[in-house]
């Protein structure tokens, strides 16, 4: 219960900061000021928006399917929030350390599409229904290249446990049960003779342990934008066509829940990208001869230093990816639905299949 409350509070804090950052990033890119009045530099604007939404009237359309309409926001947020249960925030802090965390995550967040369809259908509104259908088609389609990119990491690491995958990408490799005698080699090639196990830092991240995973990371990141309904893949919420998409009939607290779920999904997919490809909670700084940067910036497992350093590096990398998502939203125009599906089925999916094949060969021959 304590882990649940801490995760929820952390998530709420990140979402509030992210909503404020999005406005400021958008304003900067469009040569505007953004929020300026509420608090220093408008920093309290997101907090006041939350208070405003909580006070607004909760309207349920007369012709709506009331049960589906009321249940949909809860299901959407619950599906996303449940995914945080298997995210390792530090070497010692993980809400639910299960050995099949990757499989669990893929299964639980797929329930999101059920909630979206319920929201569109339950609203009894043609715009909402069109938005829901677009969203379901998009998310189900992009789950395939995203899943294949994740599968390539699982094949290289030989594990479905997020925490074990995290330990494999740093100097604490030999601290995880079952990995006591494992070694990391530069680019995963033992023949090079460069043992990076004690060097740590960026040299042990998955995108360097197996460089083909760099391509998998790009595929996953693009697919994650579509999974989150973020621009340029925000066609389910195309305001120029559908008013507001599947949540057009929602107001007050229910709209706030949908808003929270969307931003939570952004945070979740970024955390997964960091854990699988970018070293998780491990430091990016390597040990360089006398400068033991990796040792100094990793801390000790089981002590407060390990928790603080691990949480700092994980959240720092996550915020970098979140900032990249914000920049992409205000840089690229929205794709047409045919362009969106072409990119998924004729570009990302074939390349992802090739990466999975290469990952299998890599595991057999190189590692």
Say what the pTM is: 0.93
Q: How far is CA 117 from CA 67, 75, 111, in A?
A: 13, 11, 10
Give yes or no for residue 326 having a pLDDT over 70.
yes
Instruction: Note the pLDDT of residue 310.
Output: 92
Give yes or no for residue 261 having a pLDDT over 70.
yes
Give yes or no for residue 106 having a pLDDT over 70.
yes
Instruction: Note the pLDDT of residue 1.
Output: 64
Give yes or no for residue 4 having a pLDDT over 80.
no
Region 46-58: mean pLDDT is: 89
pLDDT above 70 as % of the chain: 94
Which residue carries 């009894």 as its tokens?
124
Query: In this structure, is the dihedral angle defined by the CA atoms of residues 179, 185, 188 and 192, taken in order, positive or negative?
Result: negative
Query: In this structure, is the dihedral angle defined by the CA atoms of residues 191, 197, 203 and 205, taken in order, positive or negative?
Result: positive
Give yes or no for residue 10 having a pLDDT over 90.
no
Helix (H, G, I), strand (E, B) or coil at 43: coil
pLDDT above 90 as % of the chain: 49
> Among 78-92, 238-252, 283-297, 342-356, whose mean pLDDT is lowest?
238-252
Burial of 71 (0-12, 13-18, 19+ CB in 10 A): middle
Region 312-339: mean pLDDT is: 92
Residue 309 structure tokens:
């350093």
Alpha carbon distance 63, 48 (integer Å): 32
How many residues in total does the chain contain?
A: 367
Q: What are phi and psi of 211, to 5 degrees?
A: -55, -25
Instruction: Note the pLDDT of residue 291.
Output: 84
Q: Which pLDDT tens digit goes with each residue over 25-46?
A: 989 988 898 898 888 889 899 9
Cis? peptide before 253, omega within 30° of 0? no
Q: Give how far the C-alpha of residue 201 lies from the chain's centroid of Cα atoms, to the nearest Å.
A: 22
Helices 66-82 and 112-123 cross at an angle (nearest 10°) of 160
Region 109-130: mean pLDDT is: 90
Give the pLDDT band of residue 96 (cuts 50, 70, 90): confident
Instruction: Note the pLDDT of residue 198.
Output: 82
Nearest to 306 by CA among 297, 317, 319: 297
Which residue carries 């680019």 as its tokens?
187
Instruction: Note the pLDDT of residue 75.
Output: 93
Instruction: Note the pLDDT of residue 300.
Output: 79
Instruction: Note the pLDDT of residue 319.
Output: 95
Helix (H, G, I), strand (E, B) or coil at 288: strand
Region 42-66: mean pLDDT is: 89
Alpha carbon distance 276, 207 (integer Å): 9
Region 132-142: mean pLDDT is: 90
Which residue carries 């530090």 as its tokens?
90
> Among 109-118, 157-166, 293-302, 351-360, whose mean pLDDT is lowest?
293-302
Give yes or no for residue 231 having a pLDDT over 70.
yes
Give yes or no for residue 147 having a pLDDT over 90.
yes
- Which residues, in sequence order, are bridge partners of residue 288? 291
Give yes or no for residue 367 having a pLDDT over 70.
no
Alpha carbon distance 117, 246 (integer Å): 8
Instruction: Note the pLDDT of residue 199.
Output: 86
Instruction: Note the pLDDT of residue 224.
Output: 95
DSSP class per residue in 319-365:
HHHHHHHHHHHTTSPPPPHHHHHHIIIIIIHHHHHHHHHHHHHHHHH
Give the pLDDT band of residue 191 (cuts 50, 70, 90): low
> Among 79-93, 293-307, 313-327, whose mean pLDDT is lowest?
293-307
Give the pLDDT band of residue 180 (cuts 50, 70, 90): low
Cβ atoms 261, 268 nearer than 8 A: no
Alpha carbon distance 21, 25 (integer Å): 6
């Amino acid at each position: 219960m304590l882990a649940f409350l801490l995760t929820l509070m952390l998530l709420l804090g990140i979402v509030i900061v992210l909503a404020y950052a999005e406005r400021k990033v958008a304003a900067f890119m469009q040569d505007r000021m953004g929020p300026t009045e509420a608090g220093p530099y408008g920093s309290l604007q997101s907090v006041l928006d939350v208070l405003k939404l909580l006070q607004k009237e909760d309207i349920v359309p007369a012709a709506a399917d009331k049960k589906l309409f009321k249940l949909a926001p809860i299901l959407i947020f619950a599906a996303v929030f449940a995914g945080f249960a298997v995210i390792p925030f530090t070497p010692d802090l993980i809400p639910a350390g299960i050995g099949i965390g990757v499989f669990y995550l893929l299964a639980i967040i797929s329930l999101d599409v059920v909630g979206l369809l319920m929201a569109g259908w339950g609203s009894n509104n043609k715009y909402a229904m069109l938005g829901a259908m677009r969203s379901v088609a998009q998310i189900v389609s992009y789950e395939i290249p995203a899943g294949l990119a994740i599968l390539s990491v699982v094949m290289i690491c030989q594990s479905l446990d997020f925490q074990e995958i995290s330990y494999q990408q740093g100097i604490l490799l030999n601290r995880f049960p079952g990995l006591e005698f494992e070694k990391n080699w530069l680019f995963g090639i033992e023949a090079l003779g460069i043992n990076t196990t004690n060097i740590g830092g960026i040299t042990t991240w998955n995108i360097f342990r197996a460089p083909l995973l760099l391509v998998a990371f790009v595929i996953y990141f693009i697919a994650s934008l579509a999974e989150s309904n973020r621009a340029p893949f925000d066609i389910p919420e195309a305001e120029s066509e559908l008013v507001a998409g599947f949540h057009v009939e929602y107001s007050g607290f229910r709209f706030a829940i949908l808003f929270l779920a969307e931003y939570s999904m952004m945070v979740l997919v970024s955390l997964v990208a960091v854990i699988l490809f970018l070293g998780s909670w491990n430091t990016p700084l390597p040990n360089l001869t006398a400068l033991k940067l990796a040792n100094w910036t990793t801390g000790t497992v089981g002590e407060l230093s390990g928790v603080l350093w691990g949480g700092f590096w994980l959240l720092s990398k996550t915020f970098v990816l979140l900032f990249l998502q914000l920049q992409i939203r205000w840089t690229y125009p929205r794709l047409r639905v045919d362009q969106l599906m072409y990119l998924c089925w004729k570009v990302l999916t074939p390349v992802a299949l090739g990466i999975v094949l290469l990952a299998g060969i890599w595991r057999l021959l190189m590692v």
